[in-house]
Amino acid sequence: MRNVSIALLGCGNVGRGFVELAGRERQRIRDRYGVDLEIGRILVRDLTKIRPGVDRRLLTTRALEVIDSDCDVVVELVGGVHTAGAFVRRALANGQDVVTANKALLAAHGPELFEAATQRGLSIGFEASVCGGIPVVRALHRGLAGDSIESIRGIVNGTCNFVLSRMEEGLDFEGAVHAAQERGFAEADPSMDIDGHDSAQKIRILASLAFDAPVTHESVIGIRSVTREQIERAHAGGCVIRLVAEAERLPGGVTVRVRPREIDAADIFGSVRDEYNVVAIRGRATGEVVLTGKGAGALPTAAAVLSDVIEIAQLRSARPAEVGRVGVRTSSSAGAPRLVAR
């Protein structure tokens, strides 16, 4: 049995979900994967906030006390780019593996962080950064490794899908956004969801896994201009409006598009409601593979975080002791960055 200690940065919705799930699944993970996962320290902003099920003795507001503790894996759930990036760099410099749900950080600094991890033979897990509980990062990076991907199309933002679903039932735009925030689906700044930027970040991450080519064209339109009248008109024609993100490999580069589209209600994309997401991946040999499930919410996202932690814990068990020191490369880290999603 290998003991793996976890430093948790951030204890908001997903962080609390992670604490709950890691506790609930601990024995099964021990039995099945031979690793004992223990949360050693938790970074929070406010010590006085009520967090049912979270051991108060683990909490601190001092980031370095958590990152520089004697932990094996740092789980970054603080969000944002600047501070989160500094935390991840520090963890990698300490020789700790990292798991993050932070797509904004990966979109801004992914190549640099993966390079730093590769230099040290460490891993960065980011399954939770795209589509919550749907294992789409693993599916692309490992499951479809034998095929050439031609295109990816998805409904990848739970908030927008939830808002459009509620508007179909008569709620106005503001009321629907408020409901999504209350359910914990929306980003801290919900305009990231509504204006399509969250979808763009996610489809870019998927595109970088699928295609060895840069994004050369990108257009992003969110759902702010979608009216109840448009939704009702679509409904009368047997259709729904959904925010669709697409990435396609074309000669010269990858084209990324995010925009609201009218879709037949009977289509698999049209039948995806509320915080559910769907991703259709087209492979040259495989044809279309479709994955659907909860794309936002505390427990589905926490399950994706936990799956990365388990995989890293197993990798750590198999790894020589010197890995993690600056400059040490394992043979398997010599090519692509060590993503857990393999």
Least separation, in Å, of the C-beta of 301 and ligand HSE? Answer: 6
Least separation, in Å, of the C-beta of 273 and ligand HSE? Answer: 14
Identity (one letter) of the amino acid at 64? L
Among 15, 133, 154, 295, binds ligand HSE (CB under 6 A): 295
Least separation, in Å, of the C-beta of 309 and ligand HSE? Answer: 18
Q: Which residue, 297, 277, 341, is CA-closest to 18?
A: 297
262 vs 297: CA distance, rounded Å: 26
Least separation, in Å, of the C-beta of 256 and ligand HSE? Answer: 17
Q: Which residue, 205, 168, 173, 206, is CA-closest to 190?
A: 173
Identity (one letter) of the amino acid at 103? K
Sketch the per residue contact string, 147 through 176, with ligand HSE: x for CB under 6 A, - otherwise.
----------xxx-----------------
Q: Considering the complex, state which of residue 158 and residue 196 has its C-beta at the smaller distance from ligand HSE.
A: 158
Q: Considering the complex, state which of residue 17 and residue 324 has its C-beta at the smaller distance from ligand HSE.
A: 17
Residue with tokens 């969250």: 198
Q: Considering the complex, state which of residue 85 and residue 295 has its C-beta at the smaller distance from ligand HSE.
A: 295
Q: Alpha-carbon dihedral of residues 274, 279, 280, 286, nearest 10 degrees?
A: -140
Question: Helical H runs in 184-276?
Answer: 191-194, 197-210, 228-236
Q: Considering the complex, state which of residue 66 and residue 104 has its C-beta at the smaller distance from ligand HSE.
A: 104
Cβ atoms of residues 73 and 6 within 8 Å = yes
Q: Considering the complex, state which of residue 72 and residue 274 has its C-beta at the smaller distance from ligand HSE.
A: 274
Among 193, 248, 308, 311, binds ligand HSE (CB under 6 A): 193
How much helix, strand and coil, in percent to the nearest 5, is found in the chain? 40, 25, 35
193 vs 179: CA distance, rounded Å: 14
**Interaction with ligand HSE in 244-273: which residues (CB under 6 A)?**
none
Q: Alpha-carbon dihedral of residues 16, 45, 95, 119, nearest 10 degrees?
A: 100
215 vs 207: CA distance, rounded Å: 8
Q: Considering the complex, state which of residue 125 and residue 295 has its C-beta at the smaller distance from ligand HSE.
A: 295
Tell me the site size for ligand HSE, rule CB under 6 A.
Answer: 11
Q: Shortest Cβ contact with ligand HSE: which residue?
A: 159
Among 72, 97, 127, 187, binds ligand HSE (CB under 6 A): 187
Active-site residue, 103 included? no
Sketch the per residue contact string, 195 through 214, with ligand HSE: x for CB under 6 A, - otherwise.
---x----------------
Least separation, in Å, of the C-beta of 160 and ligand HSE? Answer: 7
**Set 49, 103, 202, 294: catalytic member:** 202
**Interaction with ligand HSE in 106-145: which residues (CB under 6 A)?**
132
CA atoms within 13 A on the CB side of 58: 21
| b/e 89-102 (16+ beta carbons within 10 angstroms → b) | bbbbebbbbbbbbb
153 vs 278: CA distance, rounded Å: 8
Least separation, in Å, of the C-beta of 204 and ligand HSE? Answer: 13
The pair of three-digit structure tokens given for residue 60, joined into one six-digit string: 């601190």
**Interaction with ligand HSE in 52-81: which residues (CB under 6 A)?**
none
Residues of this chain that interact with ligand HSE (CB under 6 A) are 132, 157-159, 185-187, 193, 198, 295-296
- Catalytic positions, written as ranges: 202
